[in-house]
Structure 1
Amino acid sequence: MTTDKTGAPTTVEKLADRFTISVDGQLAGFTEIVDRDGQRVFPHTEVDEAFQGRGLATILIGEALQQTRSAGLRVVPVCSMVAGYIDKHPEFADIADPA
């Protein structure tokens, strides 16, 4: 189980059009996805203001990228938070395509 910066347990779940992150069962944020032609486009990521500063976007995006790799898809980081994550975590650069 992954915890945020406060030690609270987090859960990342893949839905049809997004990955969500919950803290103690409460929805805290999401990153939207659109799958097409072997690519997963990430257009937008958002974390609720009440949960900002706890590292949730980093946890969410990291898990979403790991699941995208496992699914055999490439990443198109339209969202600046996803692009920034890939810049800081070059282990995902090999599956990233230009936005």
Structure 2
Amino acid sequence: MSKVLFFEPDSSQFRVHLEGDYYAIVKFEVENGVYVITSTKVPEELRGKGYGKVMMEAVLPELEKMAVKVKPVCSYVVHYLERNPQWAHLKV
């Protein structure tokens, strides 16, 4: 399973390659230097197969490298961060 990450600041999203022609999308807005994660999208055919975790494992390290804080608005990200306290330092 490859995890190629595309950071697209002009379109305010990260794209994570999942498999074949499938990508996950993490959309965000930047407010006062904080990345407000507004939505995530995993293709319908791949939902429930662990690709949400793949998406987060690709995006969160990139945000950490960028030294930015994250405000999760998207319910998936809120729950993911609650279940994975190793990323608590990113939350506002």
Superposed CA RMSD in Å reads 1.6
**Alignment identity in percent?**
21
Task: Please point out which of 45, 51, 61 is paired with 1:50.
Answer: 45
Using structure 2 for the length normalisation, give the TM-score.
0.84
1:49 shift after superposition:
0.8
Structure 1 unmatched ranges of 5 or more: 4-8
Amino acid of the structure 1 residue aligned with 2:43: D
1:25 shift after superposition:
4.2
Moved more, 40-49 or 29-38: 29-38
In 2, Cα distance between equivalents of 1:64 and 1:24: 16
- Structure with more helix by fraction: 2
- Relative distance call for 1:25 and 1:94 in structure 2 (3 A) is same
Using structure 1 for the length normalisation, give the TM-score.
0.79
**Given the alignment of the two structures, is residue 65 of structure 1 paired with residue 63 of structure 2, yes or no?**
no
Deviation per CA, 1:28-72, whole angstroms, max 9, x where unpaired? 321101123221110001111111122111111222111111101
Structure 2 unmatched ranges of 5 or more: none
Contact 2:7–2:13 under 8 Å retained in 1: yes
What count of residue pairs does the alignment treat as equivalent?
90
In 2, Cα distance between equivalents of 1:59 and 1:51: 11
1:19 shift after superposition:
1.1
